[in-house]
Chains A and B, each alone.
Chain A
């Protein structure tokens, strides 16, 4: 059995995740999830999104509490700055997804993390969103994530964890690959 000094605890229940993977390989239909958010316009560019329920493991699921995200634009956009801009929320989502992946992969590889911090930058030419130049896309022209990680591992082991986290990250996939989006008005 494992000795006490070898115990790695990044707070990730890897056993549960591995059990889930095994269970889902026998019942792949339970792996079908649907994530949802609701969004209400407040005023101006200010909106409030909430997430509460989602579907997965064959049934409706609920978060422990309802989570709320205010989004707005800063005063340089002549807005009132009631919340982060939506693109900043995307950056936060990317960093959170990669960081959760880093903790999980490190746990699986029995590598103890002491600290993990990321800086995310997304460059954008706002001529795109202002409709000034049709050659400029509205979205990011590139995203850079910089990690600082303190862990019981070699630099290459840490790089391998970060690489594996990107490979398995849903948000990394969403931002690096095209997704069909359907927007309807009812």
Chain B
């Protein structure tokens, strides 16, 4: 957005609570790689020029990448500036920070979708003998005691953390709720490559049925690694991770798990196959079949006949619980009546109801790719155009 505003000669500052790439430096585990291939981090005027386009950036490479971009575009970043309040004033907004106030006509909220780890209400009933942590606190298996670990949640974070902890010798039980299974590589190409060329990632928010539902779909079950292997429930079962149903209750030190695991896995397999069907159709229509290996389908998710429905958390078998149950944004500093009853900012494709206020970087903001680094460019171009019109007085209504 800063680059797009600069292109339009719009004076702006970028307020950063810590340093550039703060979240990547402080709130991610050590082994995490970007879930998108190197070639796919395309920012305005800045792409990948290295010799490993299909690789996945480590955290330090991701931090370098973002720092370099801030440098290349000479972004007017004010570091160590925490916003404590944004309020509406006559001709715009007053932004209060720990480094003084700003008055501005427009505000772009780009604080991300994953500021706070969600923890389910049943966590209150976990016995005090159990250590608990979230993916934001998790760094590596060494910080966890020896003994069994219950990982709750089977999206990208939960499956990667379960895989790493189990391989460290701490037996993992993985409680799986709704999840979106995809293979890392299909027909020799990265799944993100297929989704990009087949237009899946460019789908626009006005083109999908029930955007509210789509914005709340869990993240793709993906991991980045050197050998591009798939981490999914079957790969976890293969290394000995125990798969159980969604954590549904907690009474008297006993965890209760839903009997719906089979259906959730079936739904996820069906959904994956619909995506693969779409990819195969695209490949056939674009005479691409000769370039890649033939279509195939993956083994359905294996679920044991009667997965356990309960687990005693007081007998010492489980020492640690990891809550990989999703994230939510933190907009607690935004003192504006722009929230829905679930505490989410009401917006139309990133154009917030408050005139001159914009939102970026949340799932399916404008496009399926909006939450990816690769989604920022198109969203920033669109929203900076709207913002410029607002400043010119050409738009007074908040509709895109």
Give the B-binding residues of A (Cβ under 8 A): 28, 141-142, 156, 159-160, 163-164, 166-167, 172-173, 175-178
Asked if A176 contacts B270 (CB within 8 A), the reply is: no
Residue of A141, A159, A175, A178 with most chain B CB atoms under a 10 A cut-off = A178
Asked if B263 is at the interface of the complex by the 8 Å CB criterion, the answer is yes
Minimum Cβ distance to chain B for residue A160 (Å) = 5
Bound CA–CA A36/B274 (angstroms): 41
Bound CA–CA A141/B251 (angstroms): 20
Residue of B245, B256, B258 with most chain A CB atoms under a 10 A cut-off = B258
Set B259, B270, B306: member contacting A159, Cβ < 8 A: B270
Asked if B273 is at the interface of the complex by the 8 Å CB criterion, the answer is yes
Given the interface contacts A28-B341, A142-B306, A163-B270, does A175 sit within 8 Å of B259 by beta carbon?
Answer: yes
Minimum Cβ distance to chain A for residue B33 (Å) = 32
Set A141, A142, A160, A176: member contacting B258, Cβ < 8 A: A176
Asked if A166 contacts B263 (CB within 8 A), the reply is: yes
| 25 A-B pairs in the complex with CB atoms less than 8 angstroms apart | A141-B306, A156-B270, A160-B270, A160-B274, A163-B263, A163-B266, A163-B267, A163-B270, A164-B267, A166-B263, A167-B260, A167-B263, A167-B267, A172-B263, A173-B260, A176-B248, A176-B258, A176-B259, A177-B248, A177-B249, A177-B256, A177-B258, A178-B248, A178-B249, A178-B251
Give the A-binding residues of B (Cβ under 8 A): 245, 248-249, 251, 256, 258-260, 263, 266-267, 270, 273-274, 306, 341
Query: Chain B residue with minimal CB distance to A177?
Result: B248
Asked if A159 contacts B266 (CB within 8 A), the reply is: yes
Asked if B273 contacts A156 (CB within 8 A), the reply is: yes
Residues of A within 8 A of B256 (CB): 177-178
Bound CA–CA A167/B273 (angstroms): 19
Bound CA–CA A176/B256 (angstroms): 10
- Extra A-B contacts (7), CB below 8 Å, given A163-B267, A176-B260, A178-B256: A142-B306, A159-B270, A160-B267, A167-B263, A167-B267, A175-B259, A178-B248
Query: Chain A residue with minimal CB distance to B273?
Result: A156
Query: Chain A residue with minimal CB distance to B341?
Result: A28
Main secondary structure of the interface of A (DSSP, over half): helix
Given the interface contacts A177-B249, A178-B249, does A172 sit within 8 Å of B260 by beta carbon?
Answer: yes
Minimum Cβ distance to chain B for residue A29 (Å) = 11
Minimum Cβ distance to chain B for residue A111 (Å) = 14
Minimum Cβ distance to chain A for residue B243 (Å) = 16
Minimum Cβ distance to chain A for residue B12 (Å) = 36
Bound CA–CA A156/B247 (angstroms): 28
Query: Chain B residue with minimal CB distance to A143?
Result: B259
Query: Chain A residue with minimal CB distance to B265?
Result: A163
Query: Chain A residue with minimal CB distance to B122?
Result: A178
Minimum Cβ distance to chain A for residue B271 (Å) = 8
Query: Chain B residue with minimal CB distance to A163?
Result: B267
Residues of B within 8 A of A173 (CB): 260
Bound CA–CA A164/B266 (angstroms): 10
Query: Chain A residue with minimal CB distance to B340?
Result: A25
Asked if B260 contacts A166 (CB within 8 A), the reply is: yes
Residues of A within 8 A of B263 (CB): 163, 166-167, 172
